[in-house]
Amino acid sequence: MTFSTVLPSTSTTVFEYTLEHATDFADEVSPAIQEIHGIKYARPLNVTVAPWLVHEYGLGPISQFFDTIEETIDEGRPWQHLRGTPAAVTTALGWLDYDSIFIEDQVRGRRRWHLYQIGMGELPGADEVNRLMSAEYLAGLSDPARSYFWRGYHGYDVRGHVYGRSRWGRSMWGDSSGVRLPGGKVKWSHGRSHLVDATAEAGKAADLAVSYTDGDPLTWLPTITWAAPGVTWEGVTDARVLKSWLMRQKTAYIGVFDADGDAIGYAAVLREVRDITDYEDVSDTVELVYEASIAFGAASGDAASVAVVFGGQSTANKPAKPWLSPAEIDFPDGDIHVGTTAAVFSFQRTIRERVVIHLTI
């Protein structure tokens, strides 16, 4: 006999050799066996095999983030090898187009040493809730069992105060900045700044009673003290200094308005109004900086413009409330809008808005 055999050569009978040869079907099944070899890596995948490969590799929990099963397998298999490492977190968040994250472990000496936070590298975008909830989910699948992703930040990052290690003016007592989304456990702290150059419309200085020229006589006003800079009671010696001083005594809000010009709300100018006028220039105008912050979730809607608004009085239960809805502010003598300028953005739950207006008047 010339065919190969697996039977022992010393004790096998002719009948056994014949039976082996008659039942040998290797030639019939060998092509099919060869086709099975490498079927996991063939592209496109066999539709009857692909779902089972996703199950075999344990990629079901991440399949929703890919358009095809092939992409799920090609991206998921390397990720499975990395799970439990920072590289796995970086890889997974890359599926959400977070391409420049920074993973930061808890500082030394903290009792909750297993916490980590991530510098996201960018704002969440228009699909804020879905993207952030997906980021929380993927980080939880990717990080070690001993670790816990508790905070993501970008643009606004104020840390909890660590006694003896951080500065009072740059930290928060007992916690770090941020808010949680409904159903989520991760705190998100995003910030965005809107820098606006605005010029007061004609006649606004007169409306605000700050329109003076050198030599104008002054009468006694309760808002003008003997220490007012550049002022003598013989007449104005420096009209721009007086204009600046008078403007900075007035209560101001930064109003945010929608595309129809209706007020979304008013942010109190809590910080000192700064004078950045170049007094060496020959001009009769002054430049002032008005700044306000709008807290997480304080407002909603789409902003189209901002302005410095004078004449308002808070009617809210909290007199020092930093953000007022239109129903929480009154204008007894009318509102004066100064420097209305386009500023297009949408309020979001996890973004703290900062508006800075450089006003020339």
Q: What is the pLDDT of residue 23?
A: 83
Res 45: pLDDT? 81
338 neighbors 287 (Cβ within 8 angstroms): no
CA distance 327 to 315: 8
Hey, where are the domains in the chain?
A: 83-185, 194-208+250-360
Query: Which tokens go with 44?
Result: 């496109």
The reported pLDDT for the residue numbered 42 is: 74
Q: How far apart are CA 268 and CA 283, in angstroms?
A: 29
- CA 133 to mean position of chain CA atoms: 13
- Nearest 5°: CA angle at 225, between 234 and 251? 125
Nearest to 157 by CA among 142, 172, 146: 172
pLDDT at 9: 78
Whether residue 231 contacts residue 212, with contact meaning beta carbons closer than 8 Å, is answered with no
pLDDT on residue 308: 98
3-class secondary-structure state, position 62: helix
**Ranges of the chain with pLDDT below 70:** 1-3, 107-112, 160-174, 220-223
Q: Quick one: pLDDT at residue 19?
A: 85
- Which pLDDT belongs to residue 11? 81
Q: How far is CA 71 from the centre of its chain?
A: 28
Q: Cα(29)–Cα(296) distance, rounded to whole angstroms?
A: 66
